[in-house]
Amino acid sequence: MRILPILLSLLLFVACKPGRPARQPVLVSEDTTFLTGTFYVIRHAERNPGPDSTLTIAGEERAGALYRLLKDSGLNKIYITPYKRSVATADSLRIHLHLDTCFYAADTSGESFIYQVTRHEDWGKRILVVGHSNTIIPILHSLRARPHTDSIGENEYDRLFIVRKNKDGTTLKEICY
């Protein structure tokens, strides 16, 4: 008989126990450098025919023009695809400015580029990105930039997209070089 009042008291205690408090949303303040930076996005320079080809003479001249254009821009790093034409396009800047490079996969979503920048903690930096005619626009979209076109022509090698990302948004400037 003594057990019954103890069980009832225990049951009453459990029944009257207040429920868990409702979760309150926690405001997430974005890190000042995450998803920020200045990105100079270009297509590799003119190339010889073939799947992993070298640059033509015109391509070498364009790579030199790129060097002259960006040598004083304060670049911190170069992101390139693992193809000879991409590496050769950025070589002058890499060698003369002693810049570190990172390879990313030439995908048509821009995901590999974003993954590598995050993995290497390169947000907030000034980065040259060398891509291909079918990867440039997806990279711009992954950076939340809105280019005026949805494609780059097979013979277009002279476009430089400058994407500036900060906490207030993204700006895009396009120039020919």
Pairing of β 100-103 and β 126-131: unpaired
Residues 111-170 have pLDDT tens digits of: 999 999 999 999 999 999 999 999 999 999 999 999 988 899 989 999 999 999 998 999
The answer to the question of residue 101 being in a domain is yes
Instruction: Say whether 119 sits in a helix, a strand or coil.
Output: helix
The answer to the question of residue 26 being in a domain is no
The answer to the question of residue 154 being in a domain is yes
Instruction: Say whether 59 sits in a helix, a strand or coil.
Output: helix
Rounded to whole angstroms, the Cα distance separating 91 from 124 reads 23
Residues 78-95 have pLDDT tens digits of: 999 999 999 999 999 999
Provide the residue range defining the domain that includes 129: 37-176
Rounded to whole angstroms, the Cα distance separating 42 from 159 reads 6
- Are the CB atoms for 90 and 129 separated by under 8 Å? no
The answer to the question of residue 52 being in a domain is yes
Query: Total domain count for the chain?
Result: 1
Tokens, residue 23: 């979760």
Question: Looking at residue 70, which CATH number applies to its domain?
Answer: 3.40.50.1240
Instruction: State residue 94 phi and psi, 5-degree precision.
Output: -60, -45
> pLDDT category, 15, cuts 50, 70, 90?
low
The answer to the question of residue 14 being in a domain is no
The answer to the question of residue 162 being in a domain is yes
The answer to the question of residue 95 being in a domain is yes
More confident residue, 29 or 12: 12
| Mean pLDDT in residue range 24-30 | 48
